[in-house]
Amino acid sequence: MGVSAMNHFTILCDDLEVTLAFYAEHLHLRPGARPPFDFSGAWLYAHGGKDPILHIIDREPKPPLVAGVIDHMAFSGKGLISTTQRLDKSSVPYELRRLPGEWGTWQLFFHDPNGAKIEIDFDRTEPAPGGLA
């Protein structure tokens, strides 16, 4: 038997409250049930999800945050225009790309407060922000 699905990503953070607010505002992830570990952190769930998809570890003392071998985490999303508006309102820089040819998927890239790179993929039929095509 092999791997059947992605379970979750784990990130390290310098400030748990700032990180939770960021993921609530921009990805609509919400904290939920988490085992009583002996370190601070949170498990975040997608709306209506029964399994956590992002684990956050907030350690004391803080270890230096360093990039690992994973380049980014990708999510599927809906509401491209409203998502970019939220990022603009919060002054979060982002890059919007479109896959070429028949794929046409919108790819939105930005970083969380800890430097973790996030991608949200939107269906090709979603209207583009700012008149992009």
CATH of the domain at 105: 3.10.180.10
**pTM exceeding 0.95:** no
Asked if residue 93 belongs to a domain, the reply is yes
Is residue 92 within 8 Å of residue 110, measured between CB atoms? Answer: yes
What is residue 68's predicted lDDT score, i.e. its pLDDT?
A: 62
Give the rounded distance of the alpha carbon of 96 from its chain centre.
Answer: 15
Asked if residue 2 belongs to a domain, the reply is no
Asked if residue 4 belongs to a domain, the reply is no
125 is written with which tokens?
């039929």
The pLDDT averaged over each successive group of 10 residues in the chain (133 residues) is: 73 90 95 88 91 85 63 87 94 92 88 90 88 63
Q: How many domains does the chain have?
A: 1
- Lookup result for tokens 């999510």: 75
What is residue 88's predicted lDDT score, i.e. its pLDDT?
A: 94
Backbone angles phi, psi at 19, to 5 degrees: -65, -45
Give the rounded distance of the alpha carbon of 65 from its chain centre.
Answer: 17
